[in-house]
Amino acid sequence: MATTANNPAAAKSAASAERAHAATVRMSIADIARFLQDNLGQRLTARITNINDPRQVGKWASGDSAPRQEAEDRLRAALQVFQLIQDAESLYTARAWMIGMNPQLEDEAPLTVIAEGRFKDVMVAARAYVDGG
């Protein structure tokens, strides 16, 4: 296995992962909900958190209410992955990557896998994508 010192691509993805993590832990849940709502839409953001009413995402984004812990965990995971892909590529690529079928996730969309609570699987797939694999 190559270390980041010997592999510039791995060093880049490690730095991107650190930036994505830092952004995720520094943002309020309202800011996270707003970002995901703005970039994925209310329906997809609701799907990530397994709620039936997409308008609830708007309430979280405005700070009128807060999600339950399980939903917050999913929102934070989605943001971290989204930020990792966006940092390496672009906003539009990150959105497409989140909603598209992914061969590393048995052709499931990353947002669906996050909704299932398989955060680590999605992060592994995101890092592989950023590393070019």
Candidate from 10-14, 43-47, 62-66 with smallest mean pLDDT: 10-14
The confidence score (pLDDT) of residue 1 equals 45
Q: How far apart are CA 96 and CA 119, in angstroms?
A: 18
Q: What is the pTM of this model?
A: 0.86
Domain spans, the chain: 8-130
Query: DSSP string of 57-88?
Result: HHHHHHTSS---HHHHHHHHHHHHHHHHHHHH
Q: How far apart are CA 90 and CA 95, in angstroms?
A: 9
Q: How far apart are CA 71 and CA 49, in angstroms?
A: 5
Tokens of 51: 């709620």
